[in-house]
Amino acid sequence: MCYILYTLHICGHWIPQPTPGNAGNGPVLRICKESETMRLGRPCPDTEHKVANRSQGMCDPCLWKRVKE
């Protein structure tokens, strides 16, 4: 199944991992092997959401909120 990778922050938010060269374009769907070979690069109808790594810090929106308060 095709998937989107996230970083899980200590504030509990899942933030999609930025893709180099694609900053600001939102989460990037990673095409799985099946889709690549069986569907000619078209993604699966369902998307899996995976935690790729855990961060010891808060996500950017939470950090900014804290700075403002």
Helix (H, G, I), strand (E, B) or coil at 33: helix
Minimum distance from residue 58 beta carbon to Zn ion (Å): 5
Tell whether residue 59 is a contact of Zn ion (CB under 5 A): yes
The neighbour count for residue 58, using CB atoms within 10 Å, is: 17
In angstroms, the CA 6 to CA 9 distance is: 9
Tracing tokens 């700075």 back to the chain, one arrives at 67
Using CB under 5 A as the binding rule, the residues of this chain from 9 to 38 that contact Zn ion are 11, 13, 32, 35
Would you count residue 2 as binding Zn ion (CB under 5 A)? yes
Binding footprint of Zn ion on the chain (CB under 5 A):
1-2, 11, 13, 32, 35, 44, 59, 62
